[in-house]
Amino acid sequence: MKVNIKTPQEIEKMRIAGRLASEVLDYITPFVKPGVSTNELNTLCHNYMVDVQKTIPAPLNYAPPGHTPFPKSICTSINKQICHGIPSEKKLKNGDIVNIDITVISDGYHGDTSRMFYVGEPSIQAKRLCELTYEAMWRGIDEIKAGKHLGDIGNAIQKLAEGVGYSVVKEFCGHGIGKNFHEEPQVVHYGRRRTGIQLEAGMIFTVEPMINAGKAAIRSLPDGWTTTTKDNSLSAQWEHTILVTEDGYEVLTLSAAAPAKPKYHF
Protein backbone atom coordinates (compact mmCIF):
# COMPACT_ATOMS: atom_id res chain seq x y z
CA MET A 1 0.00 0.00 0.00
CA LYS A 2 2.95 2.36 -0.52
CA VAL A 3 2.72 5.06 -3.16
CA ASN A 4 6.09 5.69 -4.68
CA ILE A 5 7.28 9.24 -5.21
CA LYS A 6 8.98 9.69 -8.57
CA THR A 7 12.46 11.20 -8.80
CA PRO A 8 13.11 14.15 -11.16
CA GLN A 9 14.77 11.70 -13.58
CA GLU A 10 11.70 9.43 -13.53
CA ILE A 11 9.37 12.40 -13.97
CA GLU A 12 11.26 13.41 -17.12
CA LYS A 13 10.80 9.89 -18.55
CA MET A 14 7.10 9.94 -17.60
CA ARG A 15 6.68 13.27 -19.45
CA ILE A 16 8.04 11.64 -22.59
CA ALA A 17 5.93 8.48 -22.19
CA GLY A 18 2.82 10.58 -21.57
CA ARG A 19 3.35 12.76 -24.63
CA LEU A 20 3.99 9.70 -26.80
CA ALA A 21 0.77 7.99 -25.64
CA SER A 22 -1.19 11.15 -26.46
CA GLU A 23 0.50 11.38 -29.87
CA VAL A 24 -0.81 7.92 -30.75
CA LEU A 25 -4.34 9.29 -30.22
CA ASP A 26 -3.50 12.33 -32.38
CA TYR A 27 -2.21 9.97 -35.07
CA ILE A 28 -5.27 7.69 -35.11
CA THR A 29 -7.91 10.45 -35.03
CA PRO A 30 -8.39 10.86 -38.83
CA PHE A 31 -8.87 7.09 -39.24
CA VAL A 32 -11.84 6.88 -36.85
CA LYS A 33 -14.59 6.95 -39.50
CA PRO A 34 -17.64 4.84 -40.41
CA GLY A 35 -16.53 1.57 -42.07
CA VAL A 36 -13.16 1.16 -40.34
CA SER A 37 -12.79 -1.95 -38.18
CA THR A 38 -11.31 -1.72 -34.70
CA ASN A 39 -8.71 -4.29 -35.83
CA GLU A 40 -7.57 -1.84 -38.50
CA LEU A 41 -7.25 0.88 -35.84
CA ASN A 42 -5.30 -1.58 -33.66
CA THR A 43 -2.88 -2.42 -36.47
CA LEU A 44 -2.34 1.24 -37.35
CA CYS A 45 -1.64 2.16 -33.71
CA HIS A 46 0.55 -0.88 -33.15
CA ASN A 47 2.72 -0.09 -36.15
CA TYR A 48 2.94 3.60 -35.20
CA MET A 49 4.08 2.73 -31.68
CA VAL A 50 6.56 0.04 -32.68
CA ASP A 51 7.94 1.38 -35.96
CA VAL A 52 7.68 5.17 -35.63
CA GLN A 53 7.85 5.86 -31.88
CA LYS A 54 9.90 2.80 -30.90
CA THR A 55 7.57 2.38 -27.92
CA ILE A 56 6.02 -0.85 -26.61
CA PRO A 57 2.20 -1.21 -26.61
CA ALA A 58 1.62 -2.09 -22.94
CA PRO A 59 -1.77 -3.83 -23.39
CA LEU A 60 -0.42 -6.52 -25.73
CA ASN A 61 -0.21 -9.76 -23.71
CA TYR A 62 -0.81 -7.84 -20.47
CA ALA A 63 -1.99 -10.48 -17.98
CA PRO A 64 -2.70 -9.27 -14.45
CA PRO A 65 -3.60 -12.01 -11.94
CA GLY A 66 -6.92 -13.69 -12.83
CA HIS A 67 -6.87 -12.50 -16.45
CA THR A 68 -6.00 -14.13 -19.74
CA PRO A 69 -3.39 -12.14 -21.69
CA PHE A 70 -4.94 -9.14 -23.49
CA PRO A 71 -4.64 -10.07 -27.19
CA LYS A 72 -4.29 -6.62 -28.81
CA SER A 73 -2.22 -3.43 -28.57
CA ILE A 74 -5.03 -0.95 -27.80
CA CYS A 75 -8.47 -1.03 -26.14
CA THR A 76 -11.50 0.03 -28.20
CA SER A 77 -14.78 0.29 -26.28
CA ILE A 78 -17.89 1.06 -28.35
CA ASN A 79 -21.27 2.47 -27.15
CA LYS A 80 -22.41 0.32 -24.20
CA GLN A 81 -18.89 -1.08 -23.73
CA ILE A 82 -17.39 0.57 -20.64
CA CYS A 83 -13.72 -0.38 -21.00
CA HIS A 84 -11.19 -3.01 -22.11
CA GLY A 85 -12.96 -3.66 -25.42
CA ILE A 86 -10.89 -5.95 -27.65
CA PRO A 87 -10.35 -4.77 -31.25
CA SER A 88 -12.09 -7.04 -33.79
CA GLU A 89 -13.23 -7.24 -37.42
CA LYS A 90 -16.40 -5.36 -36.48
CA LYS A 91 -16.65 -2.08 -38.38
CA LEU A 92 -17.56 1.22 -36.76
CA LYS A 93 -20.79 2.76 -38.02
CA ASN A 94 -22.23 6.26 -38.17
CA GLY A 95 -23.40 7.41 -34.73
CA ASP A 96 -21.16 5.10 -32.69
CA ILE A 97 -19.06 6.52 -29.87
CA VAL A 98 -15.77 4.76 -29.21
CA ASN A 99 -13.14 5.08 -26.52
CA ILE A 100 -9.59 4.40 -27.65
CA ASP A 101 -7.23 3.73 -24.75
CA ILE A 102 -3.49 3.85 -25.42
CA THR A 103 -0.70 2.83 -23.07
CA VAL A 104 2.89 2.99 -24.29
CA ILE A 105 6.10 1.95 -22.59
CA SER A 106 8.96 4.33 -23.35
CA ASP A 107 12.39 3.77 -21.80
CA GLY A 108 10.75 1.51 -19.18
CA TYR A 109 8.01 3.98 -18.15
CA HIS A 110 4.27 3.97 -18.94
CA GLY A 111 2.04 6.71 -20.36
CA ASP A 112 -1.72 5.99 -20.30
CA THR A 113 -4.46 8.08 -21.91
CA SER A 114 -7.82 7.66 -23.62
CA ARG A 115 -10.30 9.82 -25.50
CA MET A 116 -13.82 9.43 -26.84
CA PHE A 117 -14.36 9.65 -30.61
CA TYR A 118 -17.55 10.29 -32.55
CA VAL A 119 -17.95 8.05 -35.58
CA GLY A 120 -19.69 10.34 -38.08
CA GLU A 121 -22.49 12.28 -36.36
CA PRO A 122 -23.32 11.40 -32.75
CA SER A 123 -26.83 11.55 -31.28
CA ILE A 124 -27.51 14.49 -28.96
CA GLN A 125 -27.56 12.06 -26.00
CA ALA A 126 -24.24 10.45 -26.94
CA LYS A 127 -22.57 13.84 -27.38
CA ARG A 128 -23.87 15.05 -24.01
CA LEU A 129 -22.55 11.92 -22.25
CA CYS A 130 -19.10 12.29 -23.83
CA GLU A 131 -18.92 16.00 -23.01
CA LEU A 132 -20.07 15.52 -19.44
CA THR A 133 -17.54 12.72 -18.90
CA TYR A 134 -14.78 14.96 -20.26
CA GLU A 135 -15.77 17.72 -17.86
CA ALA A 136 -15.97 15.16 -15.02
CA MET A 137 -12.39 14.03 -15.67
CA TRP A 138 -11.18 17.64 -15.61
CA ARG A 139 -13.12 18.53 -12.49
CA GLY A 140 -11.38 15.58 -10.81
CA ILE A 141 -7.98 16.68 -12.12
CA ASP A 142 -8.59 20.24 -10.91
CA GLU A 143 -8.78 18.96 -7.32
CA ILE A 144 -5.20 17.69 -7.49
CA LYS A 145 -2.56 19.42 -5.37
CA ALA A 146 -0.14 18.31 -2.65
CA GLY A 147 -2.09 18.03 0.62
CA LYS A 148 -5.46 17.33 -1.01
CA HIS A 149 -7.07 13.89 -0.57
CA LEU A 150 -7.88 11.20 -3.13
CA GLY A 151 -11.54 11.48 -2.05
CA ASP A 152 -11.60 15.09 -3.29
CA ILE A 153 -11.03 13.84 -6.84
CA GLY A 154 -13.69 11.13 -6.70
CA ASN A 155 -16.20 13.43 -5.04
CA ALA A 156 -15.91 16.09 -7.76
CA ILE A 157 -16.49 13.47 -10.47
CA GLN A 158 -19.37 11.72 -8.75
CA LYS A 159 -21.17 14.99 -7.93
CA LEU A 160 -21.13 16.11 -11.55
CA ALA A 161 -22.21 12.75 -13.01
CA GLU A 162 -24.94 11.92 -10.50
CA GLY A 163 -26.16 15.52 -10.54
CA VAL A 164 -27.43 15.01 -14.10
CA GLY A 165 -28.73 11.47 -13.46
CA TYR A 166 -25.77 9.54 -14.86
CA SER A 167 -23.81 6.98 -12.84
CA VAL A 168 -20.16 6.32 -12.01
CA VAL A 169 -18.67 2.87 -12.63
CA LYS A 170 -17.26 1.60 -9.32
CA GLU A 171 -15.39 -1.56 -10.39
CA PHE A 172 -12.57 0.18 -12.29
CA CYS A 173 -10.47 3.08 -11.17
CA GLY A 174 -7.52 5.29 -11.94
CA HIS A 175 -4.13 4.03 -10.76
CA GLY A 176 -0.60 4.92 -9.92
CA ILE A 177 1.67 4.41 -12.92
CA GLY A 178 5.39 4.42 -13.65
CA LYS A 179 7.63 1.43 -14.25
CA ASN A 180 4.42 -0.56 -13.66
CA PHE A 181 1.25 -0.22 -15.76
CA HIS A 182 -0.85 -0.34 -12.57
CA GLU A 183 0.50 0.49 -9.11
CA GLU A 184 -0.66 2.19 -5.91
CA PRO A 185 -2.75 4.23 -5.29
CA GLN A 186 -6.20 3.25 -6.56
CA VAL A 187 -7.99 6.41 -7.69
CA VAL A 188 -11.71 5.73 -7.44
CA HIS A 189 -14.08 8.08 -9.24
CA TYR A 190 -16.51 8.51 -6.35
CA GLY A 191 -16.23 9.23 -2.63
CA ARG A 192 -16.24 11.83 0.06
CA ARG A 193 -14.11 14.96 0.41
CA ARG A 194 -11.11 14.78 2.74
CA THR A 195 -11.09 10.97 2.76
CA GLY A 196 -8.43 8.65 1.37
CA ILE A 197 -4.69 9.25 1.32
CA GLN A 198 -3.21 12.72 1.04
CA LEU A 199 -1.51 13.64 -2.21
CA GLU A 200 2.21 14.37 -2.28
CA ALA A 201 4.31 16.12 -4.91
CA GLY A 202 5.94 13.50 -7.15
CA MET A 203 3.04 11.05 -7.15
CA ILE A 204 1.89 10.09 -10.65
CA PHE A 205 -1.50 8.51 -11.29
CA THR A 206 -4.29 8.41 -13.83
CA VAL A 207 -7.76 9.91 -13.62
CA GLU A 208 -10.06 7.93 -15.92
CA PRO A 209 -13.76 8.12 -15.00
CA MET A 210 -16.21 5.76 -16.69
CA ILE A 211 -19.70 7.28 -16.68
CA ASN A 212 -22.87 5.44 -17.72
CA ALA A 213 -25.92 7.23 -19.10
CA GLY A 214 -28.04 4.65 -17.21
CA LYS A 215 -27.36 2.57 -14.12
CA ALA A 216 -23.91 1.82 -12.70
CA ALA A 217 -24.12 -2.00 -12.89
CA ILE A 218 -21.67 -3.73 -15.22
CA ARG A 219 -21.57 -7.00 -17.16
CA SER A 220 -18.36 -8.86 -18.01
CA LEU A 221 -18.22 -10.60 -21.39
CA PRO A 222 -16.95 -14.17 -21.82
CA ASP A 223 -13.87 -12.90 -23.72
CA GLY A 224 -12.44 -12.26 -20.24
CA TRP A 225 -11.87 -8.51 -20.78
CA THR A 226 -14.74 -6.50 -22.27
CA THR A 227 -17.08 -4.86 -19.77
CA THR A 228 -20.45 -3.40 -20.76
CA THR A 229 -23.28 -1.69 -18.96
CA LYS A 230 -25.80 -4.20 -17.62
CA ASP A 231 -28.75 -2.08 -18.78
CA ASN A 232 -27.22 -1.54 -22.27
CA SER A 233 -27.01 2.22 -21.73
CA LEU A 234 -24.16 4.16 -23.34
CA SER A 235 -20.91 4.58 -21.42
CA ALA A 236 -18.04 7.05 -21.87
CA GLN A 237 -14.51 7.41 -20.51
CA TRP A 238 -11.57 9.81 -20.78
CA GLU A 239 -8.14 9.35 -19.22
CA HIS A 240 -5.07 11.45 -18.44
CA THR A 241 -1.87 10.63 -16.55
CA ILE A 242 -1.15 13.32 -13.94
CA LEU A 243 1.86 14.42 -11.85
CA VAL A 244 1.04 15.90 -8.44
CA THR A 245 2.98 19.13 -7.74
CA GLU A 246 3.25 21.45 -4.71
CA ASP A 247 0.96 24.01 -6.38
CA GLY A 248 -1.34 21.68 -8.27
CA TYR A 249 -0.71 19.25 -11.08
CA GLU A 250 0.92 18.69 -14.44
CA VAL A 251 -0.96 16.72 -17.10
CA LEU A 252 1.62 14.40 -18.66
CA THR A 253 -0.52 13.01 -21.49
CA LEU A 254 -0.69 16.14 -23.65
CA SER A 255 0.25 16.55 -27.31
CA ALA A 256 -0.38 18.92 -30.22
CA ALA A 257 -3.94 17.72 -30.91
CA ALA A 258 -5.06 16.81 -27.37
CA PRO A 259 -8.43 18.47 -26.67
CA ALA A 260 -8.16 21.59 -24.49
CA LYS A 261 -9.40 21.78 -20.92
CA PRO A 262 -13.13 22.57 -21.22
CA LYS A 263 -15.08 25.55 -19.96
CA TYR A 264 -17.23 24.07 -17.19
CA HIS A 265 -20.88 24.15 -18.16
CA PHE A 266 -22.63 21.18 -16.54
Query: Burial letters for 197-230: b for 16+ Cβ neighbours within 10 Å, e otherwise?
Result: eebebbbbbbbbbbbbbbebebeeeeeebbbbbe
Number of residues this chain uses to bind ligand MF3 (CB under 6 A): 12
- Near Co ion in 95-134, by CB under 5 A: 101, 112
Taking the least distance from each CB to ligand MF3, the nearer of 184 and 266 is 184
Instruction: Tell me how far, at minimum, the Cβ of 221 lies from ligand MF3, in Å.
Output: 12
Q: How many residues of this chain interact with Co ion, rule: CB under 5 A?
A: 4
Side-chain half-sphere CA neighbours of 55 within 13 A: 30
From Co ion, ligand MF3, none, interface partner of 225 (C-beta below 5 to 8 A by class): ligand MF3
Supply the minimum distance, in Å, between the C-beta of residue 119 and Co ion.
20
Which CB, 59 or 191, lies closer to Co ion? 59
* Binds 70: which of Co ion, ligand MF3, none (CB < 5-8 Å by kind): ligand MF3
Nearer to Co ion, 255 or 266 (CB): 255
Nearer to ligand MF3, 39 or 201 (CB): 39
Q: Which is nearer to ligand MF3, 99 or 128 (CB)?
A: 99
What part of residues 95-134 is at the interface with ligand MF3 (CB under 6 A)? 101, 103, 112
Q: Which of 48, 70, 190, 238 binds ligand MF3 (CB under 6 A)?
A: 70
Residue of 4, 56, 62, 170 interacting with ligand MF3 (CB under 6 A): 62
Contact 112/160 with Cβ under 8 angstroms? no
84 binds ligand MF3 (CB under 6 A): yes
From Co ion, ligand MF3, none, interface partner of 204 (C-beta below 5 to 8 A by class): none
Please identify, using beta-carbon distances, which residue of 95 and 186 lies nearer to Co ion.
186
DSSP assignments along the chain, one per residue: -PPPPPPHHHHHHHHHHHHHHHHHHHHHGGG--TT-BHHHHHHHHHHIIIIII--EETTTT---TT-PPP-SSSEEEETTEEE-PPP-SPBP-TT-EEEEEEEEEETTEEEEEEEEEESSSPPHHHHHHHHHHHHHHHHHHTT--TT-BHHHHHHHHHHHHHHTT-EE--S--EEE-SSSSSEEEEE-S---TT-SPBP-TT-EEEE--EEESS-S-EEE-TTSS-EEETT---EEE-BEEEEE-SSSEEE-S--TTSPPPPPP--
Q: Does 239 bind ligand MF3 (CB under 6 A)?
A: yes
Chain residues that interact with Co ion, rule: CB under 5 A: 101, 112, 206, 239
Q: Tell me which residues touch ligand MF3 (CB under 6 A).
A: 59, 62, 70, 75, 84, 101, 103, 112, 206, 208, 225, 239
